[in-house]
A and B are shown apart, each in its own frame.
Chain A
């Protein structure tokens, strides 16, 4: 090579660039014809957006259709009947305190209840200043439960798809699930049941898909679902534990190599499933311990409530009878399909049933807790029976129709002719039975919800007045409660109090509703405030001159504990300014004005 040619080559290196035409879209064509181009561009964009959302809507119809149903029912509950469960309101109220109380801080979320529902409510509540009903009508809770319940329907649809059930079958099954009155009610009312159903179904789906495909990502998703699920409901802990056992066993059984290598692999899979759960479990316990000094308040909290109510579980026969009736009515599918599935799994040695029955262990835990007297036998605690019935039935259909053969779900080989015969003859009867039981479940669920002898009759209290032609005592109580809350709001507003004027204990069932409905919630000093104890010990020193006391509650509230006998106003420490008699489960709330320096009792009982 000559030096001159070399120099030209070297120069060529420094020469013009031969890159492709602007991959990054730094086009220079935009210029003079700007307006026309941009109008044209925005039309194209709008068209694309429309077709994109249409595509999404149809692809995810198992999510969007139920969502519309739950939101519509939520609208009826929140605005027409104004009936929202106290527990839903108190979850939403906990999120509300984080944002709008006198002392907004994250720990306001409280540790007596699992926090995820409140954290989810937190997001819509951010916009509460723009639209008050988000808190006053618990629309925030409705939005959250509707999203999660619709998500549960979507996850069920995907799981049934994983069972290779054909589209029509899947659609009808998911429809009977999503429109089951119990599912609709809990999708609309803002309770944590929607989250419980969502996380249980989703973790089951991912675990099942993992068992089939061995894709580690699915295992990670299942782990995350179980971890988050635990933050929504304690029962999920049991599902996580069983899930871990399933993963350890299945991973070991299907791995190759020496015993040590197989053990390593299965513990690795076990780690990936359990780690997110462990972090949620330990993280929440540590947070609770650091802030309240008790690591597992959500367990002890519930137990205290049950014991305080004097509730005693009956004999084993009674408990079993009670549970069986509730579960059979909520989902007539569950018992026959469970029996058939267990029989089939034993007969054919099918381990694929294991990941599918995860929610059964959540239910079993509820049963045990009820028998031990730790939980009330609320009907809603059995809500998981509904998806469980569909999941097991779906698995059963896929096994007996041979549909599982397509994706290697089962270990048994079926020839293609045999498969055809099976699909034609067998699919009809079992498919029909499943569909029929699914449909029957809708009215039986409604019956269970409206029969006060099933569960604790809690849904009757919420819904009775919608169906009864003549208002019952319970229906009137709901109405009275509403009036009492309105009266308190009006009275407090009329007094024109400054922030931090009234000490109140929000443990009473109606106080959260008062706080979230009132114009200025900062008027109240509540136990979530970090200075609550100091103010309660000496209110006037902090410029607080009012106390609001619950008179009717089963246990004395924090104020009556600190100042025994003050509620009646008889001991001269305070005078009664107003009494709000709700004539309902809210009991009576009394507003007192402190007349002289009260002496706090030395045995103050703060939570």
Chain B
């Protein structure tokens, strides 16, 4: 690739969206108006707290409790809705496999790989398993120019012709969406799929998506396949994580689909119409969860996202610290996306109306909010048991107090119950005992949420890179240097927590 060509592509990858639609780019987290409003609110809050401490606390507490109730109720509603047939797109094996090769569109598969040399081999083998005509596959492995380790491994491997290694020039921001944008400028396909390096997708997934896309109207801009984990039985964290994903992809997202509302995408196994993606300015390189943001933006542009019945196995984070890093990044990204889309609330209101706006706030905002609000309620309950209702009564007038009580009892219970029910409906009885212990996982979520909010204030675009390959026993290919380059926490994650072997195919039961 010529240098000039590369620089044009790079320019589009970095600045495409912020030129096309600066109002939805997360290049700046807060617009000037938002900053003013937030500062104004903060000032007003301080003044109110000084002038009328009790009343202000009551109003604050009431707002938190009612938002919490709304978010929980919305999740229960989504769970009930997910039973509707319309919630998931299903393409039978027979139909998917039966489409003749010449009727299939060219499919571009984008796989960003950053400092992950040890999983490249596995990746190439897995992609080769796709049941899709080779001449119609356009697989692009996106590697940063300075990632010599990965490039070396790729050079040594010499992948087949449908693979193309795309070298992404070094430039800030060094994020996955920027690499994806760069890959998209080269895409030949009518459809584009995105996978992570460690993914193990259903071999028929591309065919299913192609069939579904051809039968669905032009308003469907993207299909999201369901995600789960190949190392789900590795330890209690991976089991919880699996239950979490099960609820998310098999119940909550299909529920959103049934409601015909916005669906925040999961970072991988998204299948787009290429022209739609291009017209929208593709991914926001400055957003930490560019996937969720893209889902919201698609809806604002008039497209819907549907859930595709097809599984992609990912690697679940089996380590506590690593998990918290990943999760806090997601929460941060959700808040970031929320701020971005609420920059001009009136315009958003005009575009999607009050109900869908409520959905966005309750789901995109509600996800980190619930995790953050939980410890507050647990602490208050603990205090109440310890010292009695006396000191709390002043900030809990009756209606707020009762709503708080319902929040605590019904809210926690219904999410707990849904966790167990999800496992049962999905036929995952081996996860039963873990689902009974899931409140411990909520504590982990809360830790991640606190971390996320902390970082959001101090380092809003810091990218918490997740270390992949932790499921491979004795895999010591991650060099300490690589881990250092990934983030601030240093090399301990790379070697410190190898787990029992649980290969990509060994434990998967679906």
Contact = CB atoms under 8 A, between A and B. Distances in A.
Interface of A: 1, 3, 6-7, 9-10, 12-26, 104-106, 216-217, 220, 261, 264-265, 267-269, 271-272, 275-276, 279, 283
B198 to A, nearest CB: 29
Contacts of B20: 13-14
Contact of A10 (B8, B80, B350): B8
Contacts of B417: 220, 272, 275-276
B356 interface: yes
A279 B409 contact: yes
B425 A268 contact: no
Contact of B356 (A16, A24, A261): A24
Contacts of B217: 20
Contacts of B121: none
A265 B4 CA distance: 62
Given A13-B281, A20-B217, A105-B398, A264 B420 contact: no
Contact of A20 (B303, B350, B356, B429): B303
A9 B184 CA distance: 11
B16 A14 contact: yes
Contacts of B353: 24-25
Contact of B425 (A217, A267, A276): A217
Nearest to A286: B409
Contact of A13 (B282, B398, B423, B432): B282
Interface in B1-23: 2, 4-5, 8-9, 11-12, 16, 19-20
Contacts of B96: none
Given A3-B8, A216-B424, A13 B413 contact: no
A272 B218 contact: no
B8 A13 contact: no
A19 B279 contact: yes
27 contacts: A3-B4, A3-B5, A10-B8, A10-B12, A12-B278, A13-B12, A13-B282, A14-B16, A14-B19, A18-B279, A19-B276, A19-B301, A20-B303, A23-B303, A24-B299, A24-B352, A24-B356, A25-B353, A105-B398, A216-B424, A217-B425, A220-B417, A268-B429, A271-B432, A271-B436, A275-B413, A279-B413
A232 B97 CA distance: 55
B351 interface: yes
A7 B185 CA distance: 10
Interface in B183-237: 184-185, 217-219
Contacts of A18: 275-276, 279
B170 interface: no
B247 to A, nearest CB: 14
Contact of B420 (A1, A7, A272): A272
A265 B279 contact: no
A19 B275 CA distance: 9
Given A105-B398, A267-B432, 8 more contacts: A1-B5, A3-B5, A10-B16, A13-B20, A17-B280, A20-B218, A268-B423, A272-B421
By Cβ-Cβ distance, the 4 closest A-B pairs, closest first, are A13-B278, A23-B302, A17-B279, A20-B219
Contact of A216 (B278, B425, B433): B425
A245 to B, nearest CB: 19
A10 B351 contact: no
Contacts of B429: 261, 264-265, 268
A24 B354 CA distance: 12
A13 B420 contact: no
A279 B299 CA distance: 39
Which one of A16, A24, A25, A279 has the greatest number of beta carbons of chain B within 10 Å?
A24
Given A10-B12, A14-B16, A18-B276, A106 B398 contact: yes
B242 to A, nearest CB: 16
Interface of B: 2, 4-5, 8-9, 11-12, 16, 19-20, 80, 83, 184-185, 217-219, 275-276, 278-282, 299, 301-304, 350-353, 356, 398, 402, 409, 413, 417, 420-421, 423-425, 429-430, 432-433, 436
A356 to B, nearest CB: 23
B29 to A, nearest CB: 23
Nearest to A262: B429
Contacts of B19: 14
Contact of A14 (B219, B281, B423): B281
A217 B219 CA distance: 32
A13 B276 CA distance: 9
A22 B423 CA distance: 38
B420 A23 contact: no
Given A14-B19, A105-B398, A7 B421 contact: no
Contacts of B278: 12-13
Given A24-B356, A279-B413, A220 B185 contact: no
A220 B436 CA distance: 16
A25 B352 CA distance: 8
Which one of A13, A19, A26 has the greatest number of beta carbons of chain B within 10 Å?
A13
A157 B484 CA distance: 67
B8 A17 contact: no
Given A17-B279, A269-B424, A23 B219 contact: yes
Contacts of A216: 421, 424-425
B16 A217 contact: no
B279 A3 contact: no
B409 A283 contact: yes
Contacts of B218: 20
A216 B425 CA distance: 6
A23 B421 contact: no
B420 A268 contact: yes
A26 B350 contact: yes
B402 A106 contact: yes
Which one of B218, B279, B429, B436 has the greatest number of beta carbons of chain A within 10 Å?
B429
Which one of A7, A19, A105, A283 has the greatest number of beta carbons of chain B within 10 Å?
A19
A24 B302 contact: yes
A14 B181 CA distance: 12
